[in-house]
Homo-oligomer: A and B are copies of this chain.
Amino acid sequence: MKHLLDKLNDTKLDNRIRLGIMSMLMVNDWVDFGTFKEMLGLTDGNLASHMKVLEGEGYVELRKQFVGRKPQTSYTATVAGRQAFNDHLAALEALLKGD
């Protein structure tokens, strides 16, 4: 069971907010910063710090574009991000079965 706990820690998804962000990106190609903020009920600073972690791990990529005159930042999951999410789920499922 210890290896499962280590795995959950290694993926950096052992945080409900980052897990929520990645969940949203598994079912939506691109999600913009404002949508995350609203869906997850976070401040700019809190969301930005979690996004920095996910970017640092190479789990998400971002694009910046203008919508009218307002800049908008959107995110997408990378292949590595999808793999980490799936690995995390597998470890979680094994843990929940008491393996």
Contact = CB atoms under 8 A, between A and B. Distances in A.
Nearest to A19: B95
Given A2-B39, A5-B17, A24 B98 contact: yes
A8 interface: yes
A19 B5 CA distance: 10
Contacts of A98: 23-24, 26-28
A39 B1 contact: yes
A1 B89 contact: no
A24 B5 CA distance: 13
A41 interface: yes
B16 A1 contact: no
A57 interface: no
